[in-house]
Amino acid sequence: MRLEGKTALITGGGDGIGKATALLFCEEGAKVGIMGRTGSRLDEVVKEAKGPGEISAYQGDVSKEQDVKRVVNDIYKKYGKIDILFNNAGIYEGGCVVKTSIEVWDRTMDINVKGVFLVSKYVVPIMSKHGGGAIVNNSSVLGIVGMENCVAYNASKGAVRQITKSMALDHANENIRVNSVCPGYIKTKMDPEFMGNPPDAEEQLDKIAAGMIPLVRRAEAVEVGHAVLYLASDDARYVTGSDLVIDGGWTTV
């Protein structure tokens, strides 16, 4: 078990990549606190947990400081430490710079960027106090390359990559490693939302992937989870400030 004796906090843990990673961490022996805005989804993840670890649910919004402080403190009180943080929570809302509303811009930045800042702000001192830890931030291939009609999302995910590099430098002397994952086309609810949720979204997405991805398919959420597991584990003990791209070769074309 690669995470035996470890405690983790995963934001956006109610579905998609966050859920898959939480379940994987539990199988690898970790005690996992999952944070999200929808309590019922978090509870379902807790019910699905298998393996020697455990999962606990904490409802809260990463863009709200009081929620973040409460959740971090509750997890710390329960487990006595936080070894791993996966800043996974994120949203997507489309639009070019002209058509993107101020509300959409602010909401995207609040969750995708401010959320990473806030949760890290309150977890890093705990990690430092207990000898170090590993932080993984969920960026995107759209933090590396551009795509039309998603200016807010592109900007937010580029910011996450730069936050990652800054934190890696700032906290290396505290034995805290900070890396990012940059997923491409993944089978989560975000890609259908990107298309406007047409009835045949899954079929369309599979065709798009077959035409533009060298590995000719979309990834399962757990495949990103395995990348997060690597970066969070001692297998990556000499890795910090890096972006691990999980895109089936998309950005190499």
| Residues with catalytic function | 153
**Which tokens belong to 207?**
């065709």
Residue 84 backbone phi and psi in degrees, to 5: -135, 135
Q: Quote the CA–CA distance of 11 and 135 in Å, as a whole number.
A: 12
Q: Where are the alpha helices (DSSP H) in 49-179?
A: 65-79, 102-109, 115-129, 151-171
Q: Give Cα 59 distance to the centre of its chain.
A: 16
CA distances from residue 137 to 8, 51, 99 in whole angstroms, order as listed: 13, 25, 28
Are 100 and 155 in contact, with CB atoms under 8 Å apart? Answer: no
Amino acid at position 104, single letter: V
Q: Read off the tokens for 220.
A: 């399962």
Q: How many CA atoms lie within 13 A of 95 on its CB side?
A: 13
